[in-house]
Amino acid sequence: MLIKNIRIIDEITDIENDSIDVCVESEDGYTYTVSIATTKNLLQRMDQEKSNFSNPSELVIVVRKLTQEIITEALEAYAEDNAFWLKLHQFASKIDISVFDELQAKHIKELIEFDLLSGLDDLENEINKLDKLNNVQKSKLAASIEKLAQLLLFDSKEEQTNRDD
């Protein structure tokens, strides 16, 4: 996304220790409003709040100094990739948590599938060595097959539960 205009809303009182709100107008006419703070300002706020971390609900772009050059450089970086990071800052509080729940469920399924495929590859390698197996190796192979079967059953039950919902 190309930036058409950057308008600093607040007066900068200290370029090394301050936070400001900024309007970023894109070439398509949409205006994003973001907060920008210096590292010193974040540390000062944590000290004031007697906290060891910044407030998670406070989405802020962090810069070393509040100069026009650095602000522009930061906002141009946040405007890359179709303004993904500007949009995230603008709309994060409006995203329904179910979107993240769905992404997490999909990721868990992908992890299970990866474990299953990895296990099948290991099983294939073991089967290729069958002629040389002793009793301990046969027991390990049987345990691997049992573990994969349990993964398959879990995945099947999970899919059935999702269909029932």
Query: What's the token pair of residue 118?
Result: 């990895």
pLDDT (0 to 100) of residue 34: 96
**Which residues contact residue 129 at a Cβ distance below 8 angstroms, ignoring those fewer than 6 apart?**
137
Query: What's the token pair of residue 107?
Result: 């990721």
| CB distance 18 to 38 below 8 Å | yes
What band does 146 get if pLDDT is binned at 50, 70 and 90?
A: confident
pLDDT (0 to 100) of residue 123: 75
pLDDT (0 to 100) of residue 137: 74
pLDDT (0 to 100) of residue 63: 98
Average pLDDT over residues 72-85: 96
pLDDT (0 to 100) of residue 7: 97
